[in-house]
Amino acid sequence: MMNLESGKIEPELKGKNTIDLETGKVIPRLLQDEMEESYLDYAMSVIVARALPDVRDGLKPVQRRILYSMLNLGLNSSAKFQKSAKIVGETMGNYHPHGDAAIYETLVNMAQDFSQRYPLIWPQGNFGSMDGDRAAAARYTEAKMSKIAEEMVFDIDKETVDFRPNYDNTKEEPVVLPSKIPNLLLNGALGIAVGMATNIPPHNISEVMSALIALVDNPDLTIEDIVENYIKGPDFPTGGVIYDKNSIIDAYKKGSGPIVVRGVAKIEESEKGKQSIVITEIPYRQNKSDLVVKIADLAKEKIIKGISDIRDESSREGVRVVIELSKGAQADKILNQIFHLTPLQQNFNLNLIALEDGIKPKRFNLKEVLESFIRHRRSVTVRKLNFELKEERKKVHILEGLKVALDNIDEVINLIRGSKDKDEAKFGLMEKFQLTEIQADAILEMKLARLANLERQKILDELEERLKNIRWIEEVLSSEEKIMNEVKKEFSETKEKYSSERLTKVVPYPVGEFRPEDFVEAKSTLIFLTKSGYIKRMYSESYKLQNRGGKGVVGMSTKENDRLVSVVEASTHDFLLFFTNQGRVFSYPAYEFPEGTKMAKGQPIVNFLSLNSNEKVSVVYNQSKLEKYLFFVTELGVVKKTNSSEFKNIRSNGLRAVNFKDEKDSLVKVFSTDGNCEIILTTKFGQSIRFSEKDVRPMGRMASGVRGIKLRLGDRVVSAEKVSKDQKGFLFTLTEMGIGKKTEISEFNVQKRGGVGVKVARISKKTGNLSVVKIIPEDHKDLELLVISESAQVIRIKAESIPKLSRVAQGVFLMRVKDNDKVTDCEIV
């Protein structure tokens, strides 16, 4: 460097000149010292002021400033939309002096429902897509705060958080938002700082709020307890499946680690038997268009063989990428290749780094994040209570002054009337009645209308109410337990207000492995299924024996307009076959279904089976009871027999079981036969036909079948049962109104299939249509029946107590249903 006095260069002074601001002299510095200090300042600026979120409100500075600017603009969820450009300008001009493009990009991200699990901004206009399409320019789009974003700024005007000057000291901005929601976990974060980065996945609000409540009650909960009972894992806005509970727990413990994420894909089969792979969900932050191109390139280069076409049929309804397969291609193998060679399966590398108290970067574990938020909400609650206490005391002070004036109203009026001006009156009031200046001003500003008796009482009532509020606030502030009860109460209210279903399915075992049945105790269990597709499992012993004619007990809670349609008895080790209205079949183990209480409604069956949008389960069958054939019966009286060996290896994405001649037809019953049985079909109008199974030849899976019974106009098949040639026993019939009987099977003669049949029960307005038909063996003294109604009432009765009557008899009441209720099913146990 150059010596300023001699003008010579002195190479040994390898540094940078700095200026002493007091003396104005240039002070030489070593380059190494300057670089270390400047780079450290730069690094901390990036870490604290740009890249990392605060653990308390889960926001980076630019996100916080956008929300605060929207609050100042009055853009709450009930306001009119305003141009994004105005929001960006407000943020940039007042709080964030950086590029408008970066601010707008952040605003867009906060509004995208595929980027945020709970978007903080309500968008209007083109805000981009999962294909990587950019949002329209800020001058074209509009935005306002979402409902949940209002919880982020709730009570900010009650001195709940600290404020600091903005960049030019003209305004103040919050250091952190009060935030009633744990946004760091709910929406996650992604940021690259200097020497560190954060990558936090989003989570489900119901699970996180439950964990917070539990942690307030029991601070000793471990991360294993939290994951086992509350936060099952990340919940991505794009759905998908995450694997391996152990690796999830390990990542939450360390604050870092990989979590395997897969998209959701299913194998569909057309009526002609052609297969295709349909992708309906993709991993979080994955570009759908790039994924499609990647699969197409792999198919073109023959790395993945057997793909004939690929189409992106996605719409506003959701993701749908269809991969058509060549004839004879192995769908499972191709799907497995797609998982391993494309981003349809990837690791989410969790990295739980955030700012502690807005200053210090720290790697948190899951419990520490929850504890930090609880401490934040405790601080906000205490500050809010202190603010409200201060405001209440101010108002009480004024009301006490008004009360003095009302108690001495004549003297007050005379004093004011005798004063020459307002100041003389004010000081006269203060001196005579020992009032403060604030109280005196309030008296002078009081309207004459408040002298009326009713108005006077209002002042006294308000004074008493505010004194009561002060006592309550002081009582809460004096007790740590009561403070935490207030915090917990807010958590419960937030959970109830924003409760939502999990989008991402959690599979507890690693990819490629499965949970063995040996870890599950073999017990008799009942599988309940409702019309709208809710399923649950309960042990048979949950229902006690009752006498016939009773009202029964609740079997499961159902949603409005929903009803119970099926109950199947099975061992927990059994696999169940689920036949759908679209003619497909799925296989699923009984123990995998959630065990519930009598009042529980269960879980949607779509969480377990890869059903299409309009596909519903119509028949549930115990796979352990398979014989030589599977016999299919449809609502329009069509029957089909197929070798059961074609259904022993059912892939997870289902298998085509039957095709329908009429698109309005649907499956009523499926059961297994030995090939020598006789079939009894029964309709809702009380007709029945008995024919030999040999009248129906074996057919392939893709066949449609033949006519089993000829139906009258409006009639439909409600049941199908199999009997042996000389079987003795009874045909049990039960109507919608709970009227039932048992009739000897011998009363039903064998006919040729395809006829109209004979009368099986007398149907009337009193009985309602026929609802349930079952075969009861001749020796049935130890058998019991579970009768289930549409509203999920369940009664358990002895089969022996049911009267034996003729074909044309009406029957007796077995279950008395309430108004607008109907019997829907019955299971023999």
Q: Minimal CA–CA distance to 794: which of 617, 598, 595? A: 598
Give the CA distances from residue 823 to residues 738, 768, 769, in Å, rounded to whole numbers and listed in that order.
6, 10, 10
Contact status, residue 763 vs residue 685, Cβ threshold 8 Å: yes
Among the listed residues 42, 140, 167, 509, the single catalytic one is 140
Q: Is 120 exposed, middle or buried (0-12, 13-18, 19+ CB in 10 A)?
A: buried
> How many angstroms separate the CA atoms of 398 and 389, rounded?
14
Lookup result for tokens 């002021």: 49
Q: Is 629 a catalytic residue?
A: no
User: Which position has the token pair 């059912």?
Assistant: 650
Residues in the chain: 829
Strands 575-580 and 617-622: antiparallel
| CA atoms of 385 and 390, how far apart (whole Å) | 9
Q: How far is 773 from 801, CA to CA, in rounded Å?
A: 17
Strands 505-507 vs 241-243: parallel, antiparallel or unpaired: parallel
Report residue 335: phi and psi, to 5°: -60, -40
Closest CA to 788 of 768, 766, 772: 772
Helix 453-477 with 366-407: angle, nearest 10 deg: 150
User: Locate tokens 């395997």: which residue?
Assistant: 260
Any idea what the Cα angle at residue 194 is, between residues 191 and 200, rounded to 5°?
Answer: 25
Q: Are 343 and 283 in contact (CB under 8 A)?
A: yes
Strands 564-571 and 575-580, by their bridges, are unpaired
Between strands 750-751 and 687-692, the pairing is parallel
Assign residue 58 a region: left if phi > 0, alpha if psi is -120 to 50, beta otherwise? left
Question: Beta partners for 673?
Answer: 629
* DSSP element (H, E) containing 151: helix 147-153
Question: Does residue 208 contact residue 224 with C-beta atoms inside 8 Å?
Answer: no
Q: Give strand pairing partners of 719.
A: 682
Q: Which helix (H) or strand (E) holds 793?
A: strand 793-798
| Whole-number Å distance between alpha carbons of 363 and 361 | 7
H or E stretch at 539: strand 534-539
Start-end of H helices in 577-710: none
What SS3 state is found at 365? coil
Q: Calculate the alpha carbon distances from 187 to 59, 112, 119, 181 in Å.
A: 10, 11, 8, 10
Among candidates 88, 207, 305, 751, which has minimal Cα distance to 501?
207
């005579």: which residue's tokens? 432
- Sequence-ordered strand ranges (E) for 37-120: 82-83
Do the Cβ atoms of 736 and 816 come closer than 8 Å?
no
Handedness of CA 540, 541, 546, 552 (dihedral sign): negative
Active site residues per annotation: 140
